[in-house]
């Protein structure tokens, strides 16, 4: 996976070049979220639910999105 900065992520999402996926748990997503992000908790993800173009994964600290 490639790491990008928040400005690049916002640009890609704004022009339809990527989908933003929030892999945090539902309680975390309920407290704070990025508009337009899809909530798909890592604990319930089977790896096959997203079949689209580029995906940007988001979590609070980056631990859940590390390779």
Domain ranges for the chain: 6-65
| Encoded tokens for 37 | 């992000």
CATH of domain 6-65: 3.40.250.10
Beta-ladder partners of 58: 22
Tally the C-alpha atoms within 13 A of residue 57's C-alpha that lie toward its C-beta. Answer: 19
Which pLDDT band, with edges at 50, 70 and 90, does 66 fall under? low
CA distance 35 to 22: 11
Tens-digit pLDDT profile for residues 5-53: 889 989 998 988 899 888 888 888 888 888 888 888 888 877 665 666 7
| Encoded tokens for 47 | 């790896």
- Residue 11: predicted pLDDT: 92
């Amino acid at each position: 996976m490639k790491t990008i900065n928040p400005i690049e992520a916002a640009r890609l999402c704004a022009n339809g070049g990527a989908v933003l996926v929030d892999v945090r748990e539902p309680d975390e997503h309920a407290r704070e979220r990025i508009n337009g992000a899809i909530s798909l908790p890592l604990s319930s993800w089977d790896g096959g639910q997203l079949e689209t173009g580029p995906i940007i994964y988001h979590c609070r600290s980056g631990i859940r999105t590390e390779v």
